Chain A
Amino acid sequence: MADKVLMKGNEAIAEAAIIAGCRHYFGYPITPQTEIAAYMAKRMPKIGGVFLQAESEIAAINMVYGVAATGKRVMTSSSSPGISLKSEGLSYLAGADLPSLVVNVQRGGPGLGGIQPSQADYFQATKGGGHGDFRMLVLAPSSVQEMAELTIKGFELADTYRMTAMVLADGTMGQMMEPVALDLEVKPAPEKPWATTGTKLAREHNIVNSLFLSPEELEKFNFDRYEKYRYIEENEAMYEEYLMDDADICVVAFGIAARVSKNAINEARKQGIKVGLIRPITLWPFPTAPFKKAITHVKNFISVELSMGQMIEDVRLATECKAPVALCNRAGGMIPSPEQVLAAIQEANKNGGAR
């Protein structure tokens, strides 16, 4: 009936995956992303898809590997400790150049940590998803609508580059409810001549594997893969700029932290403070272009994070340390308040001229 739907972020991810043509979901429940599995359990059987609750996260990611090898769109989802369990599989997917979509609805850590929202898996997602030299495309939604849109984008990018795309959300994003428009466009999946779909005696066998007996051959694959990564860095970075044109102070935040920061920025603007926001939408590739522009007029950067300060390192690299970068953070499942971010902006404003 109605065009608009009121969805939890987790549900939006699940429905968007179905819209993107994903008919294979493998997962294992963990708060705060269990609604993705619950939604898939209800929907997949009705549309001829497969929902399978695996015996563990490790099993689930290896089922993803199997389906990805056949060229079908496939996904799994988990939360922080569960993603750690999947990291071996993520490395194998990368080593075999298989496309997949993995969702991490982050919770507080390290260890078993807690079930409240966090962004402390930034390093894990952008620097070290597993062993070996590899990258994942990392997409950071900041609204329930974006949860849906970036899920579809993730499938498309994964297919285009034969990589894992990770949607990196947090417990709040997963649980919060907002209206979503689901009339989303999906690009058709590209041809996958490498997929193991049966030769029908018409072609050579396709082999999906990440084991190389010759180090020279393995080295070549690594060099080639990094050529691809360089191309992605130049072409696929996504970001939002908010009130940046005249900004003296630049807040950098993604996901839920960007929403909190916007409230603080609006309040600071009322007080006459020239502050703006750069919101990275892709965390890898990290968007460097808006920072190259910002560094010509911004005097102070503030990285707002639900972690002990992880993205701040990429902000320092992107700004080439030409201006101070302060950290405004909470950790362990706590969320910075708009007042805390506003105080950090006011503090930076006091140091306005310092470079």
Chain B
Amino acid sequence: MIPNHRIVLLAGHYGSGKTNVAVNLALDIKTRYERVAIADLDIVNPYFRSKDSVALFQEHGIRLICSDYANTNVDIPALPPDLYAIVDDKILHTVIDVGGDDRGALALGRLSPSIKEENDYAMWMVINCYRPLTRTPEEVLDVMREIEAAGGLPFTGLVNNSNLGAATTAEDVLASMNYADQAATLTGLPLVMTTVDASLYDALKSQISNLYPLQLQRRVV
């Protein structure tokens, strides 16, 4: 399930769980490659960003590429100064946490020509049927088109991250599969994985193919 592409991009509706999936994927990729980075391209939402996990990345030797102003009171849409390392450093495996919706994906447009040219990437759309505005496959398609238009990079797969936060049950995940399959059909993209909290993995692994356990979950109070 973990792609061998040098660059893995996660985009989607804001609040779909992109950052959480990105953090988990980066840790997994680090077990396979020496030089791994996670890049936070979210210029919209200064609240929940990969910088929250900065200590964790340091501990695992994962490079964090993110704006110096993330998680501070400087509420401006700033990009990381070392942004071009993502496209220039060809042996750096990078997970890119793209900002939410089309507005968040706008910053990606600056990198997408280089990413396309190198052509060693996976761009996954993270979907959650329990989030407003992406509750139906049709809404997923709308958001997908908006993000592709803004970011200038076509998606290559879907990640079904349907969840209700800490209250998620195995039934909630099972109930999302029909939605995820329909979204895959409608968008013409493969469903590359369904993610679940690691605590639900055993209960669901025989029922859902390409099930990916999320070892880390970020929680608020």
Spell out A's residues near B (CB within 8 Å). 1-2, 4-8, 11, 15, 31-32, 35, 39, 42-43, 108, 113-116, 171-172, 175-179, 256, 259-260, 263, 333, 335
Using a CB–CB distance below 8 Å, which chain B residues touch chain A?
14-15, 46-48, 73, 75, 128-133, 135-136, 163-165, 167, 172, 175-176, 179, 220-221
Q: Which residues of A have CB within 8 Å of B47?
A: 31-32, 115, 171, 175
Task: Please state if B220 and A115 are interface contacts (CB–CB under 8 Å).
Answer: no
Give the docked Cα–Cα distance between A7 and B47 (Å). Answer: 15
- Assembled-state Cα–Cα distance A319/B172 (Å): 46
Q: Which residue of B lies closest to A8 (CB)?
A: B15
**A260 lies within 8 A of B221 (CB):** yes
Contact of A179 with B130 in the complex, beta carbons under 8 Å: yes
Contact of A172 among B73, B135, B163, B221 (CB under 8 A): B221
Q: Contact between A1 and B179 (Cβ–Cβ < 8 Å)? A: yes
Given that A6-B128, A177-B15 are known contacts, is A172 also in contact with B220, CB under 8 Å in the complex?
Answer: yes
Q: Given A4-B164, A177-B165, A335-B221: A39 and B132 within 8 A (CB)?
A: yes
A42 nearest CB neighbor, chain B only: B133
> What B residues does A43 contact at CB under 8 A?
133
Contact of A6 with B175 in the complex, beta carbons under 8 Å: no
Residues of A within 8 A of B48 (CB): 175
By a CB distance below 8 angstroms, the chain B residues around A178 are 165, 167
CB-nearest residue of chain B to A175: B47
Residues of chain B with a CB closer than 8 A to A8's CB: 15
When distances are taken between beta carbons in the complex, the residues of chain A under 8 Å from B220 are: 172, 175-176
Bound complex: CA of A148 vs CA of B158, how far in Å? 30
Interface of B is mostly: loop
Residues of A near B167 (CB, < 8 A) are 4, 178-179
A2 touches B129 (CB 8 A): yes
Interface pair B136/A1, CB less than 8 Å apart: yes
Flag if B73 contacts A15 (CB, 8 Å). Answer: no
Q: Within 8 Å CB of B135, what residues of A? A: 1-2, 5
- Are B132 and A31 interface neighbours, CB within 8 A? no
A32-B47, A115-B46 given as contacts; is B75 within 8 A of A7 (CB)? no
30 contacts between A and B (CB under 8 A): A2-B172, A2-B175, A2-B176, A5-B135, A6-B15, A6-B130, A7-B131, A7-B132, A8-B15, A11-B15, A31-B47, A35-B14, A39-B133, A113-B73, A115-B47, A115-B73, A172-B220, A172-B221, A175-B47, A175-B220, A177-B165, A178-B167, A179-B130, A179-B164, A179-B167, A256-B221, A259-B221, A260-B221, A333-B73, A335-B221
Chain A residues near B73: list those with CB within 8 A: 108, 113-116, 333
**Please, which residue of chain B has its CB at the minimum distance from the CB of A335?**
B221
CB of B201 to closest CB in A, whole Å: 20
Given A2-B129, A7-B131, A115-B73, 15 new contacts (CB under 8 A): A1-B175, A2-B135, A2-B176, A4-B164, A5-B132, A6-B15, A6-B130, A8-B15, A15-B132, A31-B47, A32-B47, A113-B73, A115-B75, A172-B221, A333-B73
